[in-house]
Amino acid sequence: MLAVSYAKINLFLEVTGRLPNNYHQVNTVFCSIDLCDYLDYSLSDEAAITLSSSDPALENSNNLIYRVAHFLQTRYAVKRGINIHLDKHIPVAAGLGGGSSNAANCLLNLNKLWELNLQRAELHSIAAQFGSDINFFLEGGFAFGENRGEILTPMADIPLPSILLVNPKILISSSEAYKLVAIPDIARSFNPLDLRGSCFNRLEAGIRKMYPAIDAIINTISSFGADSSIMSGSGSTCFGLFNNPNQLCECENHFKKMNYWTKVVSAIPRQI
Please indicate whether residue 194 is annotated as part of the active site.
no
Helix (H, G, I), strand (E, B) or coil at 243: coil
Map residue 158 onto helix, strand or coil. Answer: coil
Question: For the chain, how many helices (H) and strands (E)?
Answer: 9, 11
Backbone torsions φ then ψ of 198, nearest 5 degrees: -100, -30
The Cβ of residue 77 has, within 10 Å, a number of other Cβ atoms equal to 6
Question: In one letter, which amino acid is 230?
Answer: I
Residue 236, preceding peptide bond in cis (omega within 30° of 0):
yes
Q: What is the DSSP string of 177-227?
A: HHHT----SS-----TT-HHHH-EETTHHHHHHH-HHHHHHHHHHHHTT-S
N-term to C-term CA, the chain? 18
| Active-site annotation holds for 133 | yes
The answer to whether 255 touches 217, Cβ cutoff 8 Å, is yes
CA distances from 248 to 95, 158, 160, 162, 227 (A): 21, 19, 13, 8, 11
Longest Cα–Cα distance of the chain, Å, equals 57
Of 133, 157, 227, 263, which residue is the catalytic one? 133
Catalytic residue numbers, as ranges: 8, 133
